[in-house]
Structure 1
Amino acid sequence: MNPTKPTRFTDSSRRAAVSPPAGGHLPPQALDLEAAVLGAALLEAHAQRTLLALLPTEEVFYSSAHQQVYLAIRDLVQQGDHADLLTVVAQLRHRGTLERTGGPHFVAGLTSKINSAAHFETHCRILQEQHARRVVIRAGTELAAHAYDDTRDPLTLLADAQAHLTGLHRTLETRPGQTAAAAFEPTFDRLAQAVQQQGLTGIPTGLTQLDGLTGGWQPGDLVILAARPAMGKTAALLHFARTAALDHGHHTAVFSLEMPTLQLMQRMVASEVPGYSNSDLRRGSLPGGLEQVAHIRQQAQRLQTHGHQLHIDDTPGLSIQQLRAKCARLHAQHPLGLVLVDYIQLMRGDTKGNREQEVGSISRGLKELAKELNAPVLALSQLSRDVEKRGGEKRPLLSDLRESGSLEQDADCIIFLWRGEYYKITEYEDGTPTADTILFDIAKHRNGATDEVIAACSMRRGVFSDLSHAFVGM
């Protein structure tokens, strides 16, 4: 393309969009630009490749005739053939759509709309914008019609709206590739940042060894934290949430499908205030009465002074689309640094079918969410009962992930939690006592090594720390 040469239209193509008639509104469209884009693609081969890269679907074109021409060009390019006036007419004839498209004269007329492919990408972007507006109008119209139907669930309507908009977002977000030379400087900028931060390039986990292996929770990564019941999954999730939000100031969203907000807050208070277990606070076992309550309140003030960065949502039965909608709203207010979900098996997917297919759609949705937000998403997952049937140490395996192999496929990092103390195992292979410890077994790590990290933990308080650190008031 020649970026300095302006596009020249014929007199009949100076209007970029069709004006609405007096009696109502036509959907947003730019018929002359559609014709100009197709005409440029017929004139220049490189424009055909750009056309298919930027406009991946015929629905971007409003005119059904233009849609048929686009499909003919796409078919020819995919077959490895050159698309020009003659071959496109032949392909339309082969598809049986030549006459309803307007015949050879219509196709020939497209090339008269433009005499070069200058500013071709700009024209494609304008067509994308018009298509985006049509999709929004269609979604709004459908929702308005459905909203009058009393039998439809309002939450389902909102999820459908989010699905429309998410699909549109994917269509518009066509990122151009770049050369290795262009990516050279950013690569070394990131390397310098990693050196300055001593390898901690993501959201800190609060555990030195785990940070050393992962570099922190990385932007765009889906992390699965999986374990059998009573291994401390929720306690670990809250530890990571508190570390990110309260210790390091990252806006963090916790979606709890299992526990209500007040129970989660009670657990975090126990973690913040030494000397009290979650059980003590739940049962109100405080000999000092209300004075002791006031004392605990004072010691837990960090949850109030810094708690605006920690968002908690306890909506039960959350669907993946509802989750994405909620995250999009929070992210628009303050960019999210970390999203945590407790837990996958309690979510609802978008795919109708068996449970394995539904969990697969949830897994893909969580990975897409991480990429959309450019933030790590950490989701808890249950493991199958096969772990309990296994002899020996009952250590989890990747095959124990429940209901879907998609979790293993979509996750960037899979970490199993295991407490030998629970299984009456007194020490690890290296002789380290298992009492008051937890093992983080990194079973999959797309961007790093797999290894094991032993950390100290107090299940009574939900506190985790490096093994070398001692707890106060365990």
Structure 2
Amino acid sequence: VIKDVLVEVYEQIEQRHESVALPGIPTGFYDLDAMTCGLHGGDLIILASRPTHGTTALALNIAQNVTEINKLPVAFFSLQHSRVELVQRMLSSEVEIESSYLKTGRVSDAQWEILSKGIDSLSERKFNIFDSEKFRIKRIQEQAEKMSARGGVIIIDNLDKIHDLASASAYTIKSTLKKLKQIAQDYNVPIILISNVNESVDRRKNNRPRLADLKRCDSIENIADLVMILYRESVTSESDSNVAEIAIVKQRNGCTGTVKLLFDHQFVSFKNLTTNTN
């Protein structure tokens, strides 16, 4: 009966009031966490953008924060980048040494010590990267099952590599999204799925993407719990702004709106624009 449910809801609100912790898993980005209350188990989360705006970089930064701050495991399924490439990008962001220096080996004596400490720090974290051009739903399910007891986050990069969205049927896309949502629910883990925005947005005067600009928008809108679209003005104009916007265009249990982050071009990483007020 509703009376019993109301008692449960009241107790949850009371617990949250007394606790400084977020209900969900913090991403490490304060304004984003303030609007979403963190990443919630059972949620299918879409992170979308046009190419080169930095969804992979943002996803890696979230993974770094989850493994470092929360000490929780992350499983990162990459269908377009190798493990070596992704770890090199993470290391560059972690130690703030340009990736080009790591690629060429042009590292100074002082940087070697910093690099060594960064490697030690990253090696202690519970971060698994699976790089394969073939999408295996069973492997995602296996990782979710391992996380079910203590929590964790699954990231998949990206939907367009799972299927050719230009030719795949709406049924095929919807079926995949439903399977991922079911895994998130069954094992109470958040799944972040990276996706692309239609190129038609580039031809608009106002080229900030909207929910309707997502490829296979209907399926995503119906199934996803949270949809975030990343946009950097410096990519689409001559602006030298280092501010990035995350438009929360759908949130099943919360409000929509826009939060801003700082984009560090040198290390291809995102940082907080504001300080933590908690």
Q: What TM-score do you get using the length of structure 2 for normalisation? A: 0.89
Which is greater in Rg? 1
- State the shift of 1:404 in Å: 5.0
Match for 1:185: what amino acid?
A: V
Q: Secondary structure of the equivalent of 2:266?
A: coil
Tell me which residue corresponds to 2:59: 237
Q: Secondary structure of the equivalent of 2:48?
A: strand
2:228 to 412, 415, 427: 415
CA distance in 2, matches of 1:377, 1:203: 12
Relative contact order, higher structure (CA 8 A, sep 6+): 2
* TM-aligned CA distance change 1:360 to 1:437, over 3 Å: same
Tell me which residue corresponds to 2:104: 283
2:2 to 177, 180, 187: 180
CA distance in 2, matches of 1:312, 1:189: 38
Listed as ranges, the gaps of 5+ residues in structure 1 are: 1-178, 427-433, 470-474
Is 1:331 aligned with 2:147? yes
**Contact kept? 1:257, 1:346, Cα under 8 Å:** yes
**Contact kept? 2:144, 2:189, Cα under 8 Å:** no
Tell me which residue corresponds to 1:372: 186
1:310 to 127, 146, 158: 127
Q: Secondary structure of the equivalent of 2:53?
A: coil
For residues 137-152 of structure 1, the aligned pairs below 5 Å read none
Q: Secondary structure of the equivalent of 2:216?
A: coil
Is 1:273 aligned with 2:73? no
- State the shift of 1:266 in Å: 0.7
Is 1:258 aligned with 2:80? yes
CA distance in 2, matches of 1:198, 1:404: 36
Q: Secondary structure of the equivalent of 2:65?
A: helix
- State the shift of 1:190 in Å: 1.8
CA distance in 2, matches of 1:313, 1:218: 23
Tell me which residue corresponds to 1:320: 137
Tell me which residue corresponds to 2:200: 386
| 447-456 or 243-252: bigger deviation | 243-252
Identity over aligned pairs, percent? 27
- State the shift of 1:423 in Å: 1.8
Match for 1:458: what amino acid?
A: D
Is 1:298 aligned with 2:114? no
**Contact kept? 1:443, 1:451, Cα under 8 Å:** yes
- State the shift of 1:292 in Å: 4.1
Q: For the aligned residues, what is the CA RMSD? A: 2.3
2:208 to 378, 384, 395: 395
Tell me which residue corresponds to 1:196: 18
The structure richer in helix per residue is: 1
Match for 2:147: what amino acid?
A: H
CA distance in 2, matches of 1:449, 1:322: 33
Listed as ranges, the gaps of 5+ residues in structure 2 are: none
Tell me which residue corresponds to 1:346: 161
- State the shift of 1:256 in Å: 1.1
Deviations 1:209-228 (A, max 9, x none): 11111001112111100001
Alignment coverage as a number of residue pairs: 273
For residues 448-463 of structure 1, the aligned pairs below 5 Å read 448-463=254-269
CA distance in 1, matches of 2:114, 2:6: 55
| 278-287 or 255-264: bigger deviation | 278-287
- State the shift of 1:199 in Å: 6.8
Tell me which residue corresponds to 1:166: none
- State the shift of 1:440 in Å: 0.5
- State the shift of 1:312 in Å: 1.6
- State the shift of 1:408 in Å: 1.4
**Contact kept? 2:95, 2:114, Cα under 8 Å:** no
